[in-house]
Structure 1
């Protein structure tokens, strides 16, 4: 296909400039670095040959086979008397600081195990390393690991009377006490070193921990959010380290793509990628005219799938089966109300009238949608060239929102799997089923209500359809108690 026939995915340009998020992780053996990296980036470090266990060379590039957009540098903690280690780190920062964007270190995680009360939080070597990183203008997040051990300590300290409390009250009590000790023990020494340092805490994420607990997921997502905030902060290290705004955004997007611990980050990244070219002004785009609708849809699909970066060795999410299923879902929102029978025949009764559809009264479950298949009228219509019509706007809004919310469902399904979280058709079909049996009706009704004939001209003039897309995604994405906050 020529450029005139195929709009180029935005992610192609971003990843050509910076294909991998480069992270330096520093911490002593046993602090929990491996499990943290495995779950944050959906990889299995045990399968990556990078030297003998327990030894690290900061210069080594650890490139995991299960995540094409992540690269790791690993370093043990720094002993204050070992000047050779600090000289090596200094040379490492110096060499990486002079390189082009894709070869620089984009962030550092300094991993410190949550200590016992009264014990030293930071060794002299940690403090010296933080000063070294600050001088090199490399952004750092201090990660206090194994918070679950602190929680377990609170459980063991419960009185006999407290042990008689209901289980949920015991959990809240132990969580609050652990949180208080964390704040009292870990944060003051950090503030004394540098009050501007960002920090996060994580629980143990290995096989023996409560991996599926909301607390573990929230802690991991919070670390990712903190890192992304640091990369975006123009007033901090990155503002000095990456003075070019385009470089900052490119590094941020690549880091979003690389991570696999925060669905909210994936959604934010997908939005930023889309807004760079195709989402902004989607109702009256100057970039889409001249392209066939199917080609535009293919580009949107690739950009959104790439931004989520699932561990998909068989490329199922890019394959014709998944693409056809997504189009089968979105096609239902495209035609005018009076044309539904012409497009889908008997399916009209499950589409309903905008503003009246509900999952309770008109359930569209995936087996029925799959049974309908792609309408011949829809297929023919996709072969036409982009035009500014309500149908076209409903197509793009519907596809962006439908695909994003299906991937949000899929993310939560694979989050419970052990890294590298390989996708199979089973997980994909479950995600499709969850979305089409619960949310799609309401989403499509709200899209129809928004971009009907009466409001289409106003939407085109305002160029704010993308704001409605973002609103609907946020309103209908999966929420769970205590979930990660907005980025």
Structure 2
């Protein structure tokens, strides 16, 4: 896919200023830091060289080739009274603070604390002192309570003989409620004593079959992004410094791109990045005139795919083959319905060849492959975008943004079943395309056509609210897989 004479992707601008999300993870050996990082950022820390197993230097930059947008600093924690460790930490914060370029700063701290055994203390004195030190740096801190599943299993051992006889779902609900009550007592209460407005998340370890705690990861990422969003708001309201607000917003964008634990964060990041420039006022955009429609589409494609940050070293999601497959899907929503035959020929023959009865709207992947890219569509994409847009152009942009976002949402679900840092292949991509075209594209395209009806097109252009409809369609048709996790 060529980017020659294309509008500059917004993600290029963001990543030029802040190419990596820099995280300091603090916690003792065995607390579950490596597993947490592997699953949250889709890497494999075991492949990253360390000086000595079980040791770490807070100054070291740990960078994985499997995620270009993430850099880790690791600390084993701080023993009370160890002056040398705290002086090292102070020097580290100074070297990674606001006086250095944005890309070199620590952007967030995850303090990992294992959910304690019964009767043991959740916070050591060193943890409390570190939180006080971190507070002076104004770096957002999330306290991450790990191995919550151990607490749940402990509750199983407290069941009476009568309770054990309940059905499995009742037992699970009972243990979960008891674990929740115990967690509030032994973990949250001490944290609130140190900080009345704590930011925390909790995660569980891997299941017996290697399954991930998806909901816990998603909650951690949501908490982190929300906290950084609050920091952005603080910059605007208190400092009244536009540049500082812009800087913290850039870090939020990079953090949303870097994570691989939450599809919702990918969707939110993709929408916010799109709204920053090219999606806003897309019905009559002043950003695209003078560029060919194909090149405008290329830029939208790059921004959306980059926002999802799949482990894709072969750049399968950026190659012409995938771009053409996406265009095969979106092209069907572009022409007027009475001009469909002029663009694609007799679709009834295509449906018959595929062994499927249907009309223009029902689309499945084999049918899309049978249609191929229309010659009329290809020729139309080679035309230059004009300031006075058309219903066809608006349907193209809306359709492509929503189609691609929802295909990647399906792909996220498929990839989530694979081990961390597993490389993307055509198999997963084609499966995501097939799932989306079978389940949702019909409804999505029908809603876009209804919205872009020519009778209302002038009103749409004047209101410049098409981007709100795009967001609405994505929200309505996304998988919502994380919400269904136990």
Q: Same fold (TM over 0.5)?
A: yes
Describe the SS at the equivalent of 1:250. Answer: helix
Equivalent residue for 2:453?
Answer: 452
Equivalent residue for 1:335?
Answer: 335
Instruction: Tell me how far apart the structure 1 counterparts of residues 482 and 378 of structure 2 sit (CA, whole Å).
Output: 41
Q: 5 Å matches for 1:461-476?
A: 461-476=462-477
Aligned CA distance change for structure 1 residues 106 and 359 (closer, same or farther; 3 Å): farther
Q: Note the C-alpha offset of 1:147.
A: 0.5
Q: How many residues align?
A: 474
Instruction: Tell me how far apart the structure 2 counterparts of residues 367 and 188 of structure 1 sit (CA, whole Å).
Output: 57
On the 8 A contact 1:10/1:277 being kept in 2, the answer is: yes
Instruction: Tell me how far apart the structure 2 counterparts of residues 235 and 438 of structure 1 sit (CA, whole Å).
Output: 38
Instruction: Tell me how far apart the structure 1 counterparts of residues 287 and 375 of structure 2 sit (CA, whole Å).
Output: 27
Equivalent residue for 2:379?
Answer: 380
Q: Could you tell me which of 225, 232, 240 is aligned with 2:229?
A: 232
1:294 and 2:291 are equivalent in the alignment: no
Instruction: Tell me how far apart the structure 2 counterparts of residues 86 and 238 of structure 1 sit (CA, whole Å).
Output: 28
Equivalent residue for 2:253?
Answer: 253
Instruction: Tell me how far apart the structure 1 counterparts of residues 4 and 34 of structure 2 sit (CA, whole Å).
Output: 46
Equivalent residue for 2:176?
Answer: 175
Q: What is the alpha-carbon root mean square deviation over aligned residues?
A: 2.3
On the 8 A contact 1:148/1:204 being kept in 2, the answer is: yes
1:218 and 2:215 are equivalent in the alignment: yes
Equivalent residue for 1:62?
Answer: 62
Q: Note the C-alpha offset of 1:180.
A: 1.1
On the 8 A contact 2:218/2:482 being kept in 1, the answer is: no
Deviations 1:255-314 (A, max 9, x none): 000000000000110011111110000000011111110000000000000000000011
Describe the SS at the equivalent of 1:468. Answer: helix
Instruction: Tell me how far apart the structure 2 counterparts of residues 152 and 209 of structure 1 sit (CA, whole Å).
Output: 16
Equivalent residue for 2:354?
Answer: none
Deviations 1:331-379 (A, max 9, x none): 000000110111112226999xxxxxx9999642101111110000000
Q: Where in structure 2 are there 5+ consecutive unaligned residues?
A: 352-356
On the 8 A contact 1:24/1:75 being kept in 2, the answer is: yes
Instruction: Tell me how far apart the structure 1 counterparts of residues 360 and 171 of structure 2 sit (CA, whole Å).
Output: 41
Instruction: Tell me how far apart the structure 2 counterparts of residues 448 and 2 of structure 1 sit (CA, whole Å).
Output: 29
Equivalent residue for 2:154?
Answer: 153
Instruction: Tell me how far apart the structure 2 counterparts of residues 278 and 296 of structure 1 sit (CA, whole Å).
Output: 9
Q: Where in structure 1 are there 5+ consecutive unaligned residues?
A: 352-357
Aligned CA distance change for structure 1 residues 161 and 2 (closer, same or farther; 3 Å): closer
Aligned CA distance change for structure 1 residues 85 and 34 (closer, same or farther; 3 Å): same
On the 8 A contact 1:350/1:362 being kept in 2, the answer is: no
On the 8 A contact 2:148/2:202 being kept in 1, the answer is: yes
Q: 5 Å matches for 1:313-332?
A: 313-332=313-332
Aligned CA distance change for structure 1 residues 370 and 314 (closer, same or farther; 3 Å): same
Aligned CA distance change for structure 1 residues 453 and 397 (closer, same or farther; 3 Å): same
Q: TM-score w.r.t. structure 2 length?
A: 0.93
Q: Note the C-alpha offset of 1:386.
A: 1.1
Q: Note the C-alpha offset of 1:58.
A: 0.2
On the 8 A contact 2:27/2:112 being kept in 1, the answer is: yes
Describe the SS at the equivalent of 1:401. Answer: helix
1:368 and 2:363 are equivalent in the alignment: no
